Structure 1
Amino acid sequence: MSDTATGAVVTGFGAVTPLGTGADALHERAVAGESALHDGLGSCHGFRAVDHLSRHLVRRTDRFTQFTLVAADEALTRAGWTPGDLPYDAARVACVIGCGLGGTASFEAQGTVIAEQGAEYVSALMVPQMMANAAASHLSMRYGFKGESLCVASACSSGAQAIGTGLRLLAAGAADAVVVGGAEASTSELVSAAFRNAGALSPTGRCLPFDTDRDGFVIGEGAGVLVLETAGGAARRGAEALGAVRGYGATSDAHHLTAPDPGGGPAAEAVTQALRQAGTAPGELDYLNAHGTGTLLNDRLECDALRLALGGDALARIPMSSSKGALGHLFGAAGAVEAIATLQALRHGVAPPTAGLRRPDERLGELDLIRTARELPGGDRPRAALSTSFGFGGHNAALVLSTP
């Protein structure tokens, strides 16, 4: 247990997002203040699965699984892992990938087939393509992971809870390494219509977290994958630690299927749990990557919960931004991609702004909202940050991340 007493080290990470393929593109373009939102969507326009995967594999997978495999290839390459030559016993490598909606594109395409041609023409591949655990399954097969493999499906907190689940597997001694992350590809008209009719989607096609003019979120797509190992395991194989997951907290609102708890208590408790596990005080946080969806209600209640957990004075001094102004809301991928964005900010010492933020909403209270890239302080101690994720169904998750 001594290897996991302070969490897990991150030896690799990779991402596919609307800002481009690769975790470096995510950081560089976000820091530059760029937004990838166009026509009311955060789509990965430049991504072509056949540029990275065999045509045989592309035909058998949904877009969210394709994102996962490409992000994982980057993460595992950074970690120095190769297929067929794992640094650990394959039975001791676990895989946890979060996903909120699964293969909606494959499901909708086959629905069209039924309507136009009849049920007998529905592909036998539809279920393997659309099932939410397909990404974790394909990733395990691609690299030969034979430890526990599962999908965390907790709406917009899925990616963060997948990381937390991996952390717990390591701490319990159930695995020596865990490949974790989240993926989503649900930018269809059907999903958009549902969120629009629920009043959550921005009618202007903009996502402006914490801005006075915010009016809802924009749907995005992508994937983020991280390799977690114990500090001792990484050191024994001579791997470079790119960062660390120090603490994880998760709670349930037990309040409403879509609306957050109005008091913010359970969300605040998730943050408190993560800080306690990490042994980190609010004043030691150098950056806060907020859930920040850009809806009137969620931004306000998140700020209330953060103030409750951290204290008003501490929150006012922590540089804070939301990735969703640049990427849109990636649902099941959001927590994992935002964890990678947070790690990149800590590693490079520069935090990205909330893209599009022009007029911070004073009704949210005193906040240090980042509007242009912000240098983070250095020093003798590791940089530390908080990343929050809150999902439909009342799922609350918080991660404390740091430099090694």
Structure 2
Amino acid sequence: MSAPAIVVTGTGTLTPVGTDTDTTWEAVRRGESRAGLAPAPGVSGDLLCRAVAPFGTELLSGRGTAKLDPFVRFALVAADQALAESGLSPDTWDGSRVGIVVGCGLGGAATLGTAHRKLAEAGPDAVSPYVHPRSLVNMAAGTLAIRHRVTGPAHTVVAACASGAVAVGVGRDLIRAGTCDVVIAVGTDAGVVPVIAAGFAAMGALADSPADDASRPFAADRSGFVLSEGAAALVLEREDAARARGARTLGRILGYGFTTDAHHPVAPHPDALGAEAAVRAALADAGLAPADVDHVNAHGTSTPQNDRGEAKLIGRLFPHRPSVTSNKGLLGHSLGAAGAIEAVLTLRTLATGVVPPTAHTPAVDPELAGLDLVVGRERRTDPAIAVSHSFGFGGSNCVLVMGT
């Protein structure tokens, strides 16, 4: 018996350039920053970040939400939007048949940073009893379950910068297995805090330019990523169930592959062998071949090693030169949220036929031959099949295959 088709019926997005999917998509299509970069908090020098603008009750309401860690607040906003678009409601669903999968790399880094500062300055009595309820990495999933009366599984997956994509894949599998009828898949992270920024800076992972265009995926002068934050949510359900209730389908999750490099704690494999295995696994899962791929949403972090290895992979696996873009030129790197955000944007590309440009990259590094990177302005290609790459520390490689 063939596996049921899994579709997306709602999305929600919160990024540094948009408060929902529509505004984020329009900004990405333009490829132009609407706001400049901000100094990375607590880090000396000219390092920069892209932080989600403060938001209030217009985006998130409910008792107790104001004091939640940002990674939880971001997840709630995105999930509220996705559920509203899907037309599903806790008032009508069987909560035991609904699941939640949240991908997050860090958890409540802001809450822990504040608590540690209070501990150092004033001692244990100054530490809030809410530190753990606000900071534990599974609290976004738990809070979502309470908010939407979900009593099915509420998983949290941690795969560094691949976490958001893994959440979508695991959510898809929960429905395929018959465990859930509906899954809310979320990627969220709020890493624009001093200790996180300082750690990446000490590694030499952040861009060394103070300019607004510091994130330059696949450019010859790329030097590192711009730290960012945000969230995205996707409502997944069986295609037949969505059709039966008259829901609009935003796209299909056709394949999912997840591999591990077993190479180095933080450096990607130089030849991207584990990443290639993830692409091949995702395509096999979808019943497709590399030649079927029309578009690649690249991980494209703007770091020298990642972009070099990923370009090798794309050139080797897709000699027919599908269009390629990286959203991190504009959005920066939102860590565990990135894979989910990029999945939502890839679905928009499939739905509209528009491939956004890779912002701030004027041309591909000549050493990265074989990459048909969209630069300068958007391109209309009308792709039917797309893959989205997400790679992370620990050697995590996650690939999603999506279709119209």
TM (norm. structure 2) is 0.93
1:271 matched to which residue of 2? 279
**SS of 2:155 mapped into structure 1:** strand
Instruction: State the distance in 1 between where 2:70 and 2:206 align.
Output: 22
Instruction: State the distance in 1 between where 2:67 and 2:98 align.
Output: 24
From 2, 6, 9, the equivalent of 1:11 is 9
Is the contact between residue 4 and residue 238 of structure 2 (CA under 8 Å) also seen in structure 1? no
Is the contact between residue 60 and residue 125 of structure 1 (CA under 8 Å) also seen in structure 2? no
Is the contact between residue 37 and residue 43 of structure 1 (CA under 8 Å) also seen in structure 2? no
**SS of 1:355 mapped into structure 2:** coil
Instruction: State the distance in 1 between where 2:155 and 2:290 align.
Output: 33
1:73 matched to which residue of 2? 80
Identity across the alignment (%)? 43
**SS of 1:293 mapped into structure 2:** coil
Instruction: State the distance in 1 between where 2:64 and 2:358 align.
Output: 36
In the TM superposition, residue 84 of structure 1 has moved relative to its aligned partner by: 2.5
1:43 matched to which residue of 2? 51
2:361 matched to which residue of 1? 357
Instruction: State the distance in 2 between where 1:360 and 1:143 align.
Output: 45
Tell me the alpha carbon deviations over residues 232-269 of structure 1, each in whole angstroms, 9 at most, x when there is no partner: 11122221111110000010001111011223211101
* Pairing 1:397–2:390 present: no
Is the contact between residue 97 and residue 180 of structure 1 (CA under 8 Å) also seen in structure 2? yes
From 371, 377, 380, the equivalent of 1:375 is 380
**SS of 2:63 mapped into structure 1:** helix
1:85 matched to which residue of 2? 92
* Pairing 1:251–2:259 present: yes
Q: Which runs of 5+ in 1 are unaligned?
A: none
Q: Which runs of 5+ in 2 are unaligned?
A: 39-47
Number of equivalenced pairs:
390
2:350 matched to which residue of 1? 346
In the TM superposition, residue 41 of structure 1 has moved relative to its aligned partner by: 1.0
Instruction: State the distance in 1 between where 2:36 and 2:109 align.
Output: 21
Aligned partner letter, 2:18: G
Instruction: State the distance in 2 between where 1:63 and 1:275 align.
Output: 35
Instruction: State the distance in 2 between where 1:73 and 1:243 align.
Output: 19
Instruction: State the distance in 1 between where 2:272 and 2:60 align.
Output: 43
1:184 matched to which residue of 2? 189
1:91-170 mapped onto 2 (5 Å cutoff): 91-170=96-175
**SS of 1:364 mapped into structure 2:** coil
Query: Residues 59 and 119 from structure 1, CA distance in 2 versus in 1: closer, same or farther, beyond 3 angstroms?
Result: farther
Instruction: State the distance in 2 between where 1:105 and 1:56 align.
Output: 21
Aligned partner letter, 1:85: T
**SS of 1:209 mapped into structure 2:** coil
Deviating 4+ runs (over 3 angstroms): none
1:200-215 mapped onto 2 (5 Å cutoff): 200-205=205-210, 206-215=214-223
Is the contact between residue 314 and residue 371 of structure 2 (CA under 8 Å) also seen in structure 1? no
Instruction: State the distance in 2 between where 1:156 and 1:224 align.
Output: 14
**SS of 2:64 mapped into structure 1:** helix
* Pairing 1:366–2:370 present: yes
**SS of 1:135 mapped into structure 2:** helix
In the TM superposition, residue 55 of structure 1 has moved relative to its aligned partner by: 6.5
Query: Residues 49 and 183 from structure 1, CA distance in 2 versus in 1: closer, same or farther, beyond 3 angstroms?
Result: farther
1:179-328 mapped onto 2 (5 Å cutoff): 179-205=184-210, 206-308=214-316, 310-311=317-318, 313-314=319-320, 317-328=321-332
Instruction: State the distance in 1 between where 2:4 and 2:20 align.
Output: 31
Is the contact between residue 49 and residue 66 of structure 1 (CA under 8 Å) also seen in structure 2? no
Tell me the alpha carbon deviations over residues 78-125 of structure 1, each in whole angstroms, 9 at most, x when there is no partner: 100223222xx2111110010001111111111121122221121111
Aligned partner letter, 2:328: K
Is the contact between residue 27 and residue 345 of structure 1 (CA under 8 Å) also seen in structure 2? no
Is the contact between residue 177 and residue 228 of structure 1 (CA under 8 Å) also seen in structure 2? yes
Is the contact between residue 37 and residue 326 of structure 1 (CA under 8 Å) also seen in structure 2? no
**SS of 1:228 mapped into structure 2:** strand
Quote the RMSD (CA, aligned, Å). Answer: 1.5
Is the contact between residue 37 and residue 328 of structure 1 (CA under 8 Å) also seen in structure 2? no
Instruction: State the distance in 2 between where 1:333 and 1:261 align.
Output: 22
